[in-house]
């Protein structure tokens, strides 16, 4: 069942099994607010088992581009297109959020972003990345990093 993420009243629905559920819910709400404000897009997630295409796309990019396999189970995911950009988000039990941004036009920006929920450690599989800190009213301190997608996906 899909869930419209409310960024006014943060809820842990769908991410309750995470040890940092409150922070992960805040991170998810932070993304929902961004897409609503920038693109007037309603950020809707569904259980990872129901969003296997989105999870497979992100997993494939990580594997093909950097040989990264995320150890934590995926809890929720979403995939949508906005302003000529294909977007996918996967939220993991550990508190990790991964997004793939893939501009459909040739030569556009294409990248994978990692965001760590407040209170979680950097996963071993992402140890090579440097994470910058950002403050969020919804999510506390978010640590983020990214890499540019070089191949076609």
Mean pLDDT of the chain: 96
Determine the Cα–Cα distance for residues 71 and 48; give it in Å rounded to an integer.
15
Mean pLDDT of 100-115: 95
Cβ atoms within 10 Å, residue 49: 11
Q: Average pLDDT, stretch 103-124?
A: 95
Is pLDDT of 40 > 90? yes
Residues 6+ away with beta carbon under 8 Å from 25: 10, 11, 12, 13, 15
Confidence of residue 1 (pLDDT cuts 50, 70, 90): confident
Q: Tell me: the pLDDT tens digits for 45-101?
A: 999 999 999 999 999 999 999 999 999 999 999 999 999 999 999 999 999 999 999
Q: Which residues, including other chains, have CB under 8 Å from residue 8's CB and lie 6 or more apart? A: none
pLDDT band at 38 (very low <50, low <70, confident <90, very high): very high
Q: For the stretch 15-25, what's the b/e string if a residue is b when 16 or more beta carbons lie within 10 angstroms of its beta carbon?
A: beebebbbbbb
Give the Cα separation of 145 and 136 in Å (integer). 16
Per DSSP, the three-state class of 14 is coil
């Amino acid at each position: 069942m899909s869930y419209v993420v409310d960024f006014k009243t943060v809820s842990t629905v769908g991410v309750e099994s995470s040890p940092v559920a409150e922070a992960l819910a805040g991170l998810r709400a932070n993304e929902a607010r961004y897409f609503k404000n920038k693109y007037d897009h309603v950020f809707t997630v569904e259980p990872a088992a129901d969003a296997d295409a989105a999870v497979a796309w992100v997993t494939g990019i990580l594997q093909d581009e950097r040989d990264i396999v995320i150890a934590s189970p995926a809890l929720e995911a979403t995939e949508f297109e906005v302003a000529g950009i294909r977007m996918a988000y996967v939220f993991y039990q550990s508190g990790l959020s991964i997004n793939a941004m893939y501009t459909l036009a040739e030569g556009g920006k294409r990248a994978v972003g990692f965001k760590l929920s407040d209170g979680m450690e950097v996963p071993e599989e992402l140890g090579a990345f440097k994470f910058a800190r950002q403050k969020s009213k919804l999510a506390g301190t978010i640590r983020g990093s990214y890499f540019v997608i070089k191949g076609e996906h």
